Chains A and B, each alone.
Chain A
Amino acid sequence: MSTKLIYFAWVRERIGKPEEDIELPAGIETVADLLRWLKSRGEEYENALQYPDVIRVAINQEHVGHREKIAGAREIALFPPMTGG
């Protein structure tokens, strides 16, 4: 099953695209696993995800922590800390 990844703000700018559909390899169980794997996909991902601790994540449009399991996620969004209001 492919998963839709969506990027915002400087994460989007550094990766160079707003979204993509990705087949996640076996063994990617948590958000932290996903960030580690994405980071190894090329220089632009390395730049965007250099400090994974600051990256905020939403699964199916709800905030989650980095230990959250990603099984069944349709849509995973990665973005910097929010600055609205």
Chain B
Amino acid sequence: MASAVVPAIRVQREDFDVAHEIAALTKGRADIGAVVTFSGLCRDEEGALAALELEHYPGMAEAEIGRIATEAAERWPLQGLTVIHRHGKITPGENIVLVVAASAHRQAAFEAANFLMDYLKSRAPFWKKEHRADGSEGGWVEAKEADDEAAGRWKTSGE
């Protein structure tokens, strides 16, 4: 098997362009048969939410996403992997997170993208604070136990 890909990791305030990121992974290559992308967007919670403020731990955010992405690249035969996570103030309809996984076949790409999102949710050092549409501060979003359980299902025996 060829050596694992080096994932591209970006933690940034700016938006990203999904089509551009797919093209960047596949351009000039004929060995990729499947690209799975996941984009996470900010919802308005039926009009109640004005914005999310995403705080992050600079340095560790990149390092932790890098560790998760490297594990994905070791577990699945990927030809390319890009992970982008935004921080700062994000309004409903805007992008928050992107995972692009490219592989020869779809199963590896689907599973790697799914694994990455489950682990990003419970291990990447980001925290969301809500700004409510009525002008009040909504407080910090609480972590969901379901997210920890989702990450737990990827554990291999011995971990």
User: A interface vs B, CB < 8 Å?
Assistant: 6, 8-10, 58, 61-63, 77, 79-85
Contacts and interface: CB of A to CB of B under 8 A. Distances in A.
B127 A8 contact: yes
B59 A83 contact: no
Contact of B57 (A61, A81, A85): A61
A83 B60 contact: no
Contacts of B56: 84
B121 A80 contact: no
B159 interface: no
Contacts of A6: 57
Interface stretch (B1-9, B15-23, B43-51, B135-143): B135-143
A81 B122 CA distance: 8
A85 B122 CA distance: 8
Contacts of A9: 55, 127, 129, 140
A76 B128 CA distance: 21
A58 B128 contact: no
Nearest to A60: B60
Nearest to B52: A83
A79 B60 CA distance: 13
19 contacts: A6-B57, A9-B140, A58-B57, A58-B125, A61-B63, A62-B64, A77-B57, A77-B125, A82-B122, A82-B124, A83-B121, A83-B127, A83-B128, A83-B141, A84-B85, A84-B97, A84-B120, A84-B124, A84-B125
A84 B65 CA distance: 11
Nearest to A58: B60
B123 A80 contact: no
B54 interface: yes
A81 B140 CA distance: 11
